[in-house]
């Protein structure tokens, strides 16, 4: 989310209508505006909006046909607007537009969070103490999110609180089938196995749904989370969904992204998986973690569903990011890894 590129012809917006809407709906806005597109944001196209008075960020739904319930930018805006007054680190929410006549789809505008956007889980260039601080900040911020009372911030109806994993497996199965472009045997096996082995749920919280290193902005000079980004998959559910997804970093091979499996973590200053789990449990009052293999299998299955959606958008010609094809190529490996953890969980 830190790098921008010129807006390609297929991603252009009606800047005149956008400027009129922002002038009417965002206090203090004054044009003219210019647009650039963030390299990230494959699912929902994300733009930097620069004006003489400052910068904003705009997120819209993708161009072209959309799957039902996907790309709900209005839900993103709702959770950001609910969390911001609590002091939880999100970008300031400025406005939501549900009228597609303005730029062709729903969109929202938020503040630009200034700081560092990190992608590589090994955190090259950081000292060991700083690495540990950054990881601890990620864990502590997630624990803080899971401590928010949904009813107290107006999100009591943001999702159905029970049977989270059962519903999510069904949802991602449906999404996968709706965008399926070829047969992947491991996915078919997972679709049969996961719903038959769902673990019990004992807590309900706001869950982010995609809580990872590159969906955060960190302060420039200290290990502190300034803003958590990309709330598209947020809902009410089992907080272990978020935490097990974060722990995927520890079992994923380093590829210049968040994976840190096999690295010398003590030498780097990065907490071990056990240390990370202990810190989260201490912050949330848990006595320990369940067997994580089912959760890892589920998380990889869900990622497979997301990547299949990207693959389908490539086929349909409306993929949002230049990196979409490289991401879509990961699908077979993700499916194999998901089934590997299913086997470790007893499949």
Burial 124-142 (b: 16+ CB within 10 A, else e): eebeeeebbbbbebbbbbb
Burial 42-68 (b: 16+ CB within 10 A, else e): bbbbbbbbbbeeeebbbbbbbbeeeee
**Which pLDDT score is estimated for 1?**
46
Confidence tier at 7 by pLDDT (50, 70, 90)? confident
Alpha-carbon distance 290 to 178, whole Å?
A: 32
Give pLDDT tens digits for 103-116: 999 999 999 999 99
Residues of the chain with CATH 3.90.1200.10: 128-344
| CA proximity to 303, closest of 346, 260, 337, 344 | 337
Q: Which residue has the higher pLDDT, 317 or 83?
A: 83
Alpha-carbon distance 16 to 227, whole Å?
A: 29
Give pLDDT tens digits for 180-214: 888 899 999 999 999 999 999 999 999 999 999 99
Sheet holding 93-97, edge to edge: 4-5, 34-38, 46-51, 54-60, 107-111, 93-97
Average pLDDT over residues 259-279: 98
Query: Where does 128-344 sit in CATH, by number?
Result: 3.90.1200.10
CA distances from 153 to 20, 45, 73, 211, 337 (A): 31, 28, 19, 20, 38
CA–chain centroid gap for 344, Å, is 26
Give pLDDT tens digits for 216-257: 999 998 999 999 999 988 999 999 999 999 999 999 999 878
Global pTM reads: 0.89
Average pLDDT over residues 148-168: 94
| CA proximity to 180, closest of 72, 335, 61, 286 | 335
Which residue reads 């994993």 in tokens? Answer: 165
Q: Quick one: fold of 4-111?
A: Phosphorylase Kinase; domain 1 (3.30.200)
Q: Which residue has the higher pLDDT, 150 or 66?
A: 150
**DSSP strands (E only) in 219-258:** 225-228, 235-237
Alpha helices in 156-235 (DSSP H): 164-179, 185-193
| CA proximity to 57, closest of 89, 30, 35 | 35
Give pLDDT tens digits for 298-338: 999 999 998 888 888 887 776 666 667 777 778 889 999 99
Confidence tier at 70 by pLDDT (50, 70, 90)? low
Alpha-carbon distance 267 to 88, whole Å?
A: 32
| CA proximity to 170, closest of 244, 88, 69 | 69
Q: Would you say residue 154 has pLDDT above 90?
A: yes
Q: Would you say residue 171 has pLDDT above 70?
A: yes
**Which pLDDT score is estimated for 320?**
60
**What does the DSSP 8-state code read for residue 153?**
G
Give pLDDT tens digits for 115-142: 999 999 999 999 999 999 999 999 999 9
Mean pLDDT of the chain: 92
Would you say the C-alpha torsion 285, 286, 288, 289 has a positive or negative sign?
Answer: negative
Measured distance between the N- and C-terminal CA atoms of the chain, rounded to whole angstroms:
38
Q: Would you say residue 51 has pLDDT above 70?
A: yes
**Spatial CB neighbours of 179, under 8 Å, sequence gap ≥ 6:** 67, 308, 309, 311, 312
**What does the DSSP 8-state code read for residue 266?**
H
% residues pLDDT > 90 (the chain) = 76
CA distances from 321 to 16, 62, 326 (A): 24, 10, 10
Tokens of 241: 């969904």
Alpha-carbon distance 343 to 245, whole Å?
A: 18
Residues of the chain with CATH 3.30.200.20: 4-111
**DSSP strands (E only) in 138-283:** 205-207, 216-218, 225-228, 235-237
Q: Which residue has the higher pLDDT, 322 or 60?
A: 60
**Spatial CB neighbours of 272, under 8 Å, sequence gap ≥ 6:** 250, 265, 266
Average pLDDT over residues 31-52: 86
């Amino acid at each position: 989310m830190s790098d921008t590129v010129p807006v390609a012809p297929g991603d252009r917006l009606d800047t005149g209508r956008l400027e009129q809407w922002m002038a009417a709906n965002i206090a203090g806005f004054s044009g003219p505006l210019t647009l650039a597109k963030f390299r990230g944001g494959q699912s929902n196209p994300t733009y930097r909006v620069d004006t003489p008075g400052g910068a904003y960020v705009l997120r819209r739904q993708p161009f072209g046909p959309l799957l039902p319930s996907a790309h709900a930018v209005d839900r993103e805006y709702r959770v950001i607007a609910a969390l911001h007054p609590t002091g939880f680190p999100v970008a300031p929410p400025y406005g939501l537009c549900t009228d597609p006549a303005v730029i062709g789809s729903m969109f929202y505008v938020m503040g630009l969070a200034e700081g560092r956007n990190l992608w590589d889980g090994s955190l090259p260039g950081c000292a060991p103490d700083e690495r540990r601080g950054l990881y601890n900040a990620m864990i502590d911020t997630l624990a803080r999110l899971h401590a928010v009372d949904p009813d107290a911030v107006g999100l009591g109806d943001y999702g159905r609180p029970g049977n989270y994993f059962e519903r999510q497996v069904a949802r991602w199965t449906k999404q996968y089938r709706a965008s399926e472009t070829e047969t992947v045997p491991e996915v078919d096996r997972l679709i049969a196995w996961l719903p038959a082995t769902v673990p019990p749920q004992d807590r309900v919280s706001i869950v982010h749904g995609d809580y990872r290193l590159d969906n955060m902005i960190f302060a420039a000079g200290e290990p502190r989370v300034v803003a958590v980004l990309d709330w598209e998959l947020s809902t009410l559910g089992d907080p272990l969904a978020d935490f097990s997804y974060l722990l995927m970093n520890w079992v994923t091979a380093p590829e210049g992204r968040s994976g840190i499996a096999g690295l010398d973590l003590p030498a780097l200053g990065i907490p071990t998986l056990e240390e990370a789990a202990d810190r989260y449990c201490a912050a949330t009052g848990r006595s320990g973690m369940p067997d994580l293999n089912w959760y890892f299998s589920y998380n990889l299955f869900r990622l497979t569903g997301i990547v299949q959606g990207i693959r389908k958008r490539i086929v349909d010609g409306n993929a949002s990011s230049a990196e979409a094809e490289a991401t879509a190529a990961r699908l077979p490996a993700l499916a194999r890894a998901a089934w590997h953890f299913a086997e470790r969980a007893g499949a």
